[in-house]
Structure 1
């Protein structure tokens, strides 16, 4: 949004829609309202994608469904010459803590439990705020959206660790580490959550805002 300076005072912010402009969601190029396709990347131009909330909730529900077995089933299966062991995400973090690696255990808990739950909550708050209104200022909601988008790329840390361990620790009869069924469920949950966040049209955050709230161009 841009504010109009009139007689030394800043008037109500002017949205891109009010200025007769529409931005491309893929390359961020701005075009006059009514342009069908982006001349830079060829994407379809729409001022607001109202159907995006349906996709957001569909991917969100799929992510929650996959996140449940990701915490109930073993993430890692360890087999040695004399015993075999299966660990869930929480059990693995507890074992790391008891074996003198509290820092690693905290990282696992943050990356595998705290961040996914926070992403589910943040996406739900953003989607509900667009549909039902929110007391949270639009600027803060947009910051939340940017954070969710940014941390999405780091959500696969557990899957990467399992893949690395599985490839390195393969000593045939002596010892081996293999991924458990939770690793696939966790990976799917992360993918679905990322798709849910990417489906959200963040421009809708700035609809129906108060005149004194300012933010970026829609």
Structure 2
């Protein structure tokens, strides 16, 4: 298998496992804590944050472990990946995420293919998606562009875990995961008609994060900041 195909498999597999964790832990939480939504959210957030750390640690050396089209978009804007590869990443991430949702349904003896009915649509939710996406991408940029790339898995896991509670949308912040979650009519689901606005908000967040990243972590002639070999004095 060539390097490109290996990277695409890693992105599909990683995003699939991420969605499987989001959906599967949501189903588990709703069964274990049926009368306590707060506890359900805590269980869902903890599982997702932990899975993110593990997946990024394992798959980072293979594909960069983007697992998210807006992360790939940011890498494209920084010149770290070509346009063709960025499109392939996004397709692999979305396909893998959908497979993860279907697999999660099957594991919990739900219909493998089902459409979510939970409508998530309001200005507050869209604003939350902008904020969640900006925060996620700033966390990644701040680590990578200041020479702390090794901290990315933990920083991303912590941000997503915290943003579950600090944003009203519970921090989707990922177009591929958003699309995939339409395939499970469960605690973690989102109705298909709610997806376009969520994805639009995530793209707005990516644009804002890109601008903020260039301001906070500048580089000569607009080039990406190289990783430092040591911490600044």
TM-score (norm 2): 0.24
Higher relative contact order (CA 8 A, sep 6+): 1
Which structure has the bigger radius of gyration? 1
TM-score (norm 1): 0.25
* Greater helix proportion: 2
